[in-house]
Amino acid sequence: MELSEELATAAWRKATRSASNGGDCLEVAPLSGGRVGLRDTEAPEKAPFVVSASVWDAFIDGAKKGEFDF
C-alpha cells in the first residue's frame, strides 16, 4: 500500500481533552512500520507529517517528562 493510500484510510484520533481548547489540536494515526502520522484537526486536507517510531517515542517520552511545559 502506498503512503498516500495508507494516510487516506488511517484511523485518525485526537486527545479526549482537546474539545475544550477551541479545536486547536493535532490528530495522530498509527501507520505501517511503526510510523505515526500527524495532522491539524482544522485542516485535514493538508498533507500530514509522518515520523518514524523512534521520533514519536522520543516526543512522547519528552512530553511525559514535562520537556514541553511552559
Residues constituting the chain? 70
Question: In the chain, which residues have pLDDT < 50?
Answer: none
Longest dimension (CA), the chain: 40
Distance separating alpha carbons of residues 28 and 16, to the nearest angstrom: 12
For residue 15, the model assigns a pLDDT of 75
3-state DSSP assignment of residue 65? coil
